[in-house]
Amino acid sequence: MSFLAPVAEMLGRAPRRPERYTEAAEIAHGRKRGKGMGATRLLEEIARTAHRHTWRWRRWLVLLSVNGLFTLSYWLDIQVLEGSMTASRLLGFHLADPYSSLLVSLAERRLPVNLIIGAVTISLFWGLVGGRAYCSWVCPYHFVAEFAERLHLWLARRGIVRDHLLHRGVRTLLWAGFAILAFVTGRTLFLTLNPIGILSRAIIYGPSLALLWVAVLLAFEVVYSRRAWCRYVCPVGLTYGLLGMKAPLRVTYDLVRCAHEGECRKVCEVPHVLEMTIKGRSPDVKMDVGPDCTRCGMCIDVCPTESLQFELKGLGGLL
């Protein structure tokens, strides 16, 4: 149950109140009644962490390096990382995006050896490094969407736009839908629409008209629904989420320290994974953030009480 619930939440189920609490959690929740950090002190801490972007800078550095390596491999012909986000070779060794590979195999109705090698390698890598860490640490669309998100929030603060939430189950539906469509029609519609592929190819091989589609998606996110593609559509992200269900690299939550002020949920791309930070919701004093988490570290940066931390399971002491 404790393992399946976060997966069900990733697939679209709304988070629920826990049915049972551990004894330690009961005590921790009990102690918080009427007590806490003190409002003034908390406000000070919030002000202190509001502009802390340690993890964001680290993340952007990695993201830009990886995408830059693709581009340099082509422009300078240094042949380190050839190809693009959907499939590539690292020093000659095949790598492939698992979901794109699945679609191609379904459409083609066979399993090319190099594609299996590539997809398995990538699956193992992200299975260890942390599933959707792909999204925030590598994906070029995530990067541009972060700026669209800022614009959206800026406009929303002024009451010009409003965020419209969608049922998150739609992503699961589309995941299966694109796969079925590929199998039935023999055409990979998703690979045509995939803004990750479009952007990655544009960065490496030069701009294309297809960037207009990316612009449409970003505009939709700015005016209508915050981070819509990443939250409600992207089957690539969901695939990495499923692959990283047991990933040792996690964000962990400390109930005792938490002030429940909710700064983390405001910045999170997938706030449903941080449901336990709501007062009275954490079933245990120490919790792992669910598999839909992109390990972007924004909650860690913004947390005024250091209740959220990166942890490498089994190797915690090293980090």
> Considering the rule CB under 8 A, would residue 72 count as an interface residue with other proteins?
no
> Considering the rule CB under 8 A, would residue 209 count as an interface residue with other proteins?
yes
- Number of other residues whose CB lies within 10 A of the CB of residue 241: 28
Q: With contacts defined by CB under 8 A, how many residues of the chain interact with other proteins?
A: 60
Q: What end-to-end distance do the CA atoms of the chain give, in Å? A: 29
Q: 307, 65 in Cβ contact below 8 A?
A: no
Question: What angle do the packed helices 140-157 and 54-75 form, to 10 degrees?
Answer: 140
> Considering the rule CB under 8 A, would residue 187 count as an interface residue with other proteins?
yes
Alpha-carbon span 15 to 57, nearest angstrom: 31
Alpha-carbon span 214 to 195, nearest angstrom: 6
Stretch that binds other proteins, among 54-62, 86-94, 248-256, 268-276 (CB under 8 A): 86-94
Tokens, residue 10: 């990733």
In the range 109-148, which residues lie near other proteins by CB under 8 A?
A: 112, 114-115, 118
> Considering the rule CB under 8 A, would residue 180 count as an interface residue with other proteins?
no
- Least distance in Å: CB of 312 to other proteins? 31
Instruction: Pick from 63, 148, 181, 222 the residue near other proteins by CB under 8 A.
Output: 181
Alpha-carbon span 231 to 166, nearest angstrom: 9
Q: 301, 52 in Cβ contact below 8 A?
A: yes
> Considering the rule CB under 8 A, would residue 312 count as an interface residue with other proteins?
no
- Least distance in Å: CB of 178 to other proteins? 9
Alpha-carbon span 304 to 22, nearest angstrom: 25
Stretch that binds other proteins, among 199-207, 245-253, 285-293, 296-304 (CB under 8 A): 199-207
Which sign does the torsion angle of CA 228, 230, 236, 239 carry? negative
- Rule CB under 8 A: which residues touch other proteins? 73-74, 82-89, 94, 96-97, 100-101, 104, 107-108, 112, 114-115, 118, 156-159, 162, 164-167, 169-170, 173-174, 177, 181-182, 185-189, 191-193, 197-198, 201, 204-205, 208-210, 212-213, 225, 228, 232-233
